[in-house]
Amino acid sequence: MKSLIINVSEILKIPGVKKKFDFYYELKPVCDAEKLNFIGPVHFNFTIENVDMKLNVKGKVCGKIGLICNRCLTEFERKTEVMLDEVFSSDKNELDEDEVFRIKNEKIDIRFVAEQAFLLSLPMKAICNDECKGLCIKCGKNLNLGPCSCTKKEIDIRLLKLKEFKEKLEKSNN
């Protein structure tokens, strides 16, 4: 498939008709609130059904997304599968609804709904793995690659009086 704009003129002619689509397509990176970078082709598998001159698009889209870990700033890939369940209509009265997409010149754009589904599936904070140790707050070394040489003996200033009290107690016991 060369484009994600699908001609639905044949589907619109026959109420109740369903047409299945199953193909791979290279999506370009999307710059929105976060950059959405696809790695390799994305697998589209969905059905378009004509229900009362509205088109229901149901199925799934699978692909690998390149992300950057919020803890250690390492690039990593995550296989992601999103579900499509969208309605397309050419009725201008229904287009005011947020959940209805437009049929324009008997064509629908699947790219936009797929990209939106992927954007909504992104985590608030991308983490490369559950055991990610992040970066050292002093030197910036990636702690997943090994320990840094920074001194770890820092005391929380709020606990300084408690430390002094403990040292006093230890001196008085000696």
The tens digit of pLDDT for each residue in 53-86 reads 889 999 999 999 999 999 999 999 999 999 999 9
What one-letter code names the amino acid at 173? Answer: N
Note whether residue 133 is domain-resident. no
Tell whether 100 and 169 lie within a shared domain. Answer: no
Average of per-residue pLDDT across 110-131: 90
Residues 16 and 97 in one domain: yes
Same domain, 152 and 99: no
Q: How many helices (H) and strands (E) does the chain have?
A: 3, 8
Q: What's the number of domains the chain is made of? A: 2
pTM: 0.75
* Alpha-carbon gap, residue 121 to 114, rounded angstroms: 11
With beta carbons less than 8 A apart as the criterion, state whether 134 and 126 touch.
no
Q: How many Cα atoms within 13 Å fall on the side-chain side of residue 123?
A: 14
Residues 28, 79 within the same domain: yes
Q: Which domain holds residue 27?
A: 5-121
Same domain, 147 and 117: no
Residue 131 within a domain: no
Residue 127 lies in a domain: no
| Residues 151 and 80 occupy one common structural domain | no
- pLDDT at position 104 is 86
